[in-house]
Amino acid sequence: MIALTCAFAAGGAGAQEPAPAAATPSAVPKAVLELFTSQGCASCPPADALLTELAADPQMIALTLAVDYWDYVGWKDTLAKHGHSVRQRAYAEQRGDRMIYTPQMVVDGIAPAKGSDKMAVEKAVRRAHDAGSTLLVPVALRRSGENLVVDVAAGVDPG
């Protein structure tokens, strides 16, 4: 099992500057992929497998976010967080479509796709890129022994 260690460098006591990522194309993230899923979702395992495949690309930042809005059907998802459901709804509201479902993948916070449809996800990555989507918060990943360290620097003001 890989532990996840986060070093936040947004200022404040004890903050440290993240190790700068190498200035190579492979070090620059191409997209953030957020898969909204649920343990009780029968359609989600293929999406989980696709996210695992896409996460092998070092230019992809892949996140799995288990939602709680299916808990009412009688089986509580032990990984679900209400905040994940709120996040997915906020994306839908921002897009103006209010469409949320599992498995849904959201690319760079703006481009939704059916989470198990590789072509749709790749199209969403292109759509986000074409829309000028950029990561405003520098993120770098590195291994430290058995740990995966995520360095998150202060964000950039888009204005």
- What is the per-residue pLDDT across 45-100, written as a single tens digit (0 to 9) for each? 999 999 999 999 988 889 999 999 998 888 899 999 999 999 999 999 999 998 99
**How confident is residue 9, by pLDDT bands cut at 50, 70 and 90?**
very low
For every residue of 74-88, which 3-state class applies, written as one string?
CCCCCCCCHHHHHHH
* 8 membership: H or E segment, kind and range: strand 3-9
pTM: 0.71
**Is residue 9 within 8 Å of residue 152, measured between CB atoms?**
yes
Please report the domains of the chain, with CATH numbers, ordered by start residue.
1-24+135-159 (no CATH), 30-133 (3.40.30.10)
